[in-house]
Amino acid sequence: MNLTPLLAVAAPSANPASNWITLGLFIMFVATTVAGALIAVNTVRIIRSVSGLALACVGLAGLFYFLHSPFLALMEILIYIGAVCVTIIFGVMLAEPDEPAPETHKRPYPVIAPLVAVVIAAGIFGGLAKLALGHKWEAPVAKINDGSVAAIGTSLLSTYSMAFELISLVLLVAILGALVIARGGRTKE
């Protein structure tokens, strides 16, 4: 297998040894992402699926780092592991303090359901693969900006101000919804 093009993408450096180290790290991050995703969907224990999700997020953060966006990489860890996964586990703890017994429920459509699932999965895979192979990938831009606080602030309040405001609106609605639910739940007997 010829790794040279991949090597050039992953590690554009003159030094061969450091190229191989970088390539190794790149493969490790890809493997982490895939392994995490597989754990997340294949295990029956929900707490392990969340751990798998967290692992996939670590791998994704590494891939973001390779795409020259350390800011995004750290945000991935801060938000998706530090907030989202923790919230999910907290929800699991409140909802289901005991491990459920392995279920033995009857499958209503033993033939049709797996077939439909396979067709949908194959379709998505085929579409993505066609897109990935057919697209003319441009050489990665070395650095879009310096990633400083000033640059992030400027782009948040100019180029991406619309998305920024929309997100704040969504969060406001979420807070209001939480308040409504919490109010309703607090009645004294």
Partner 1 sequence: MSAIFDYLTQEPVWFYVRLVLFLVGTLAFVGANAAYLVWVERKGAGRFQRRPGPDEAGPWGLLQPPADGIKLMAKQVMTPPGADALLFRLAPALVLMPPMMCLAVIPFGDKLLACDLNIGLLLVFAFGSINVMALMLGGWASRNKYAIISAARVVSQNVAYEIPMLLVVITLLMITGTMNLNEIIHQQAGGFWQWNIVRGIWDFQAGHIGGNILVPVTFLIFYTCMLAETNRAPFDMAEAESELVAGAFTEYAGMGFGVFFMAEYANIVVGCALATLLFLGGWQSPIGTVPAEWGWWGTLLGTGFFFAKMYFLIFCVVWIRWTFPRTQFYNLLNLSWKILIPVSLVTLLLTAGLLKLPNLF
Site residues (CB under 8 A) for partner 1?
13, 15, 17-18, 21, 45, 47-48, 51, 54, 70-71, 74-75, 77-78, 81-83, 85-86, 89-90, 93-94, 97, 99, 146-150
Nearer to partner 1 among residue 117 and residue 145 (C-beta): 145
Taking the complex as a whole, how short is the minimal distance between the CB of residue 94 and partner 1, in angstroms? Answer: 8
Which residue, 93 or 129, is less far from partner 1 as judged by CB?
93
Handedness of CA 82, 88, 89, 90 (dihedral sign): positive
Angstrom distance (rounded) from CA 148 to CA 131: 33
Contacts of 161 (CB under 8 A, 6+ apart): none
H/E run at residue 27: helix 16-42
Cβ at position 128, least distance to partner 1 in Å: 29
DSSP state of 138: P
Return the number of the residue (1 or 181) whose C-beta is nearest partner 1.
Answer: 181
Q: Name the residue among 69, 75, 70 with its Cα closest to residue 144.
A: 69
CB of 13 vs partner 1, minimal distance in Å:
6
Q: Give the residue with the Cβ less far from partner 1, 60 or 85.
A: 85
